[in-house]
Amino acid sequence: MIERLKQIISQMGLSDRAFSIKCGIAQNTLSRQLSGAREVSLTTICAVLDKCPEISAEWLMRGKGEMLLTSEQPTEAEDRMNKLIDTITFQQDTIKNLQARIKELEAELIINRQKNIG
């Protein structure tokens, strides 16, 4: 079960600390459980399943089936959030490209000024 917990944390792209905060589990408790120093508690299992509804309880507890429930569809709010993140990422890339183009044009302008002066 420890390896499956580690897979969930990795799948979510979170640090152990961020995952413990998300699930409402004390950081030191989760760390001891992940290291094998303590058994994974029922409280931890319930917290993970409560805060991560896309995770299969059968997979987490027994290791059977797939980690993610295939029938879980993103909620409207999650879908909207994902679209916003995609839009923000696209806008950031656009801004980065425009800033690079501005620098190129400024360099060309300086070169043209120098040619006109000389």
pLDDT truncated to tens, each residue of the chain (118 aa)? 999 999 999 988 889 999 999 999 999 999 999 999 999 999 999 999 999 999 999 999 999 999 998 755 567 777 787 678 778 888 988 999 999 999 999 999 999 999 888 6
> CA 29: distance to chain centroid?
22
Whole-angstrom CA distances from 114 to 90, 100, 106, 108, 117 are 36, 21, 12, 10, 5
Do residues 49 and 57 lie in contact, with contact meaning Cβ atoms separated by under 8 Å? Answer: yes
Supply 55's token pair.
């995770």
Do residues 48 and 8 lie in contact, with contact meaning Cβ atoms separated by under 8 Å? Answer: yes
Write down the pTM of the prediction.
0.58
